[in-house]
Chain A
């Protein structure tokens, strides 16, 4: 495991702690998107590019979009 992967892993742990510690909901969603993107890079480093594409498309794209829409619904905005 090279240095780049270790840095990414540390960043991943920091992201996952920040998601649960953040009070602002929209900020938590955006940090979660960053977590997913770092996870995609890590899958690529672990020789699983198939999973990396799926993670980048679903985790960083669709899930974040649905979270933001759910936040909008919670706040009652139209």
Chain B
């Protein structure tokens, strides 16, 4: 009984490690993973459902900057990834499919402003 660990130790000598040598190789992420959001402003209808369903109030409907207001006259969701809990309710509730979640999980940043995901193309904040 006391030697119960020994066979396992011997097996371990000849078995493959459970971990992989990240970042050279990685375990594939399954479909349906709730990672970083992707947003298509052209498909968005500004219905505000995503902002209303968000449990952490991480989504705020914002106006476009002055120079883009003609192209985007309504309000659009700006996501604060610092507040987001990645529950995916915004993706499920979105009627037009403008907001969905990707497999992206490299989210750490040194700049706190980059945690905001602007709805407008080529716009930092």
Whether A and B are associated in the same complex: the answer reads no
Q: Which residues on A are within 8 Å of B, measured CB to CB?
A: none
Q: Which residues on B are within 8 Å of A, measured CB to CB?
A: none
